[in-house]
Structure 1
Amino acid sequence: MLELYQSEGCPHCAKVRQKLSDIGASYVIHNPRLPGGEGGDVTNEVTHDELVAGGEDQVPYLVDTEREVTMYESDDIVEYLDEHYA
């Protein structure tokens, strides 16, 4: 199963979502950042702990549970999806 940790409005996340759509992949989406007030984004604690378990506090973050692969960086994720799912 593919899981994508992302944020709406993030162009890097949009790039990964577009690739997932292009290849017709089924995936679960998580939004660890919710729209906040004046201070910017407010962390969604439920998914934030899962996000930082990969070692960084950034999105996009892809988890491929079938291959036991996790990765950040949109270009790396798109390349990985092309290699394994396209």
Structure 2
Amino acid sequence: MPVVFRHKGFRFFFYSNEGDPREPPHIHVLRDGVDAKFWLWPEVVVAYNDGFSAKTLRELSEIIKNRRQMIMDTWNEFFGESH
């Protein structure tokens, strides 16, 4: 599972097998055994949440919005896609 970046103890990553057919671009976030998944387009939205508070989800959404292009570049490079 490629780690895209780490921030304040959070690991932002995706799985090397993201479905067949592959799911749309998204990012998983994990810290202390709690995880969430965010869709990247057309807006950054929570796909699922397994324990983060609403405040933390808002903070994570902002981090992802600010790094969305870098996340997409990493996704495209890893999966050999271009959009």
Q: TM-score, normalised by structure 2?
A: 0.28
Compare relative contact order (CA 8 Å, sep 6+) and give the higher one, 1 or 2: 1
Q: TM-score, normalised by structure 1?
A: 0.28
The answer to which structure has the higher helix fraction is 1
Is the radius of gyration larger for structure 1 or structure 2?
1
